Amino acid sequence: MNLTLKIWRQPDAASTGAIHTYQLADVSPDMSFLEMLDVLNEQLNEQGEEPVAFEHDCREGICGSCGLMINGEAHGPEVTTTCQLHMRSFSDGDTITIEPWRSDAFPVIKDLVVDRSAFDRIIQQGGYVSVNTGAAPEAHSVPVPKDDADRAFNVATCIGCGACVAACPNGSASLFMGAKITHLGLLPQGQPERDTRVVNMVAQHDAEGFGGCTNIGACTASCPKEIPLDVISQLNKDLRTAIRHGH
């Protein structure tokens, strides 16, 4: 296929960016989206133009590194990660616009690379179970109903990619945060810190400049791991309970 690519180029955080247009020929439908960008970068390098910076590592849809706005959609037209999106989702002659995640809380570092360290700082505020190494009880001493374990697993699969934030008109990270709150809230190990966890994580979320959730649902629609919207209800419920408990 032959494609026209409109790509956001920005040399660094301090500079202003602009869309540049490139032509790319002979793209195979079996290529992943990132392989298509590899081919473009080889072409740019050859022409003496600096390759486009974009993030990626596993290329298996699990590390959460890759993430691009493709034609205005987080991770593009399919419900998957950018690295697992394949060119067979596009047609010959298409024009594709590629931009970095859009969110004030994710400032651009260069080209398509943004800073998502705000997610780590939210986790630092309580997205864990406080157990020191070596202090754990025998694993079978605390049974967990299978349904709870399965559900905890389903929401624990969040890869921290940030698509939910990028897709949200408010720039809210509620889906990301709700996934962690729900994961730990479903397990007996997560109970003792349940109230402080939600209060502190939400406070950090707001301090980072993420917006509030108004239940639009764009987050879950673009989440490659299909984290359901009800984790946000769970988040709100936990927050109300914690406040009722005097936090």
Partner 1 sequence: MKVTTGPSGESYDDAAGYYTPGEPIVDTKAPAGPIAERWQTRQFEARLVNPANRRKLDVIIVGTGLAGASAAATMGEAGYNVKSFCYQDSPRRAHSIAAQGGINAAKNYKEDGDSVHRLFYDTVKGGDYRSRESNVHRLAEVSASIIDQCVAQGVPFAREYGGLLDNRSFGGVQVSRTFYARGQTGQQLLIGAYQALERQISAGTVSMYSRHEMLELIVADGKARGIIARDMVTGEVETHLADVVVLASGGYGNVFYLSTNAMGSNVTAAWRAHRKGAYMANPCYTQIHPTCIPVSGSHQSKLTLMSESLRNDGRIWVPKNQADCDKDPRDIPEEDRDYYLERIYPSFGNLVPRDIASRAAKNVCDEGRGVGPEVDGVRRGVYLDFADATQRLGKDAVASKYGNLFDMYARITGEDPYSVPMRIYPAVHYVMGGLWVDYDLQSTIPGLFVTGEANFSDHGANRLGASALMQGLADGYFVLPHTIRDYLADGPFEPIAEDHPAVVEARESVQSRIDHFLSVNGTRSVDSYHRELGNIMWEYCGMERSEDGLKKAIDLIRTLKDDFYRNVKVLGAAETMNQSLEKAGRVADFIELGELMCIDALNRRESCGGHFRAESQTEDGEALRHDDEYAYVAAWEWAGADAAPVLHKEDLVYTAIEMKQRSYK
How far is the C-alpha of 155 from the C-alpha of 186, rounded, in Å? 10
- Which of 20, 59, 194, 237 is close enough to bind ligand FES by CB under 6 A? 59
Beta bridge partners of 5: 22, 96
Task: Assess 31 for contact with partner 1 (CB under 8 A).
Answer: yes
Q: CB-wise, 35 or 193, nearer to ligand FES?
A: 35
Residue from 61, 127, 178, 190 binding ligand FES (CB under 6 A):
61
User: Residue with structure tokens 């394949």?
Assistant: 86
Q: Rounded distance, CA 26 to CA 41, Å? A: 14
Among 61, 76, 127, 160, which residue interacts with ligand SF4 (rule: CB under 6 A)? 160
Task: Select from ligand FES, partner 1, ligand SF4, none the partner in contact with residue 211, using the beta carbon and a kind-dependent cut-off of 5 to 8 Å.
Answer: none
Q: Give the CA radius of gyration of the chain.
A: 20
Alpha-carbon gap, residue 110 to 107, rounded angstroms? 9
Position 79: which residue type? Answer: V
User: Left (φ > 0), alpha (ψ -120 to 50) or beta: where does 143 sit?
Assistant: beta
* Stretch of residues binding partner 1 (CB under 8 A), selected from 79-87, 90-98, 166-174, 231-239: 79-87
| Interaction mask 183-202, partner 1, x per CB under 8 A | xx--x-xx------------
Q: How far is the CB of 65 from ligand FES (least distance, A)?
A: 5
List the Cα angle 224/225/230 in 5-degree steps: 115
By CB under 6 A, which span of 22-30, 36-44, 78-86, 203-211 interacts with ligand FES? 78-86
**Which residues contribute to the site for ligand SF4 (CB under 6 A)?**
158-164, 175-176, 179, 223-225, 227
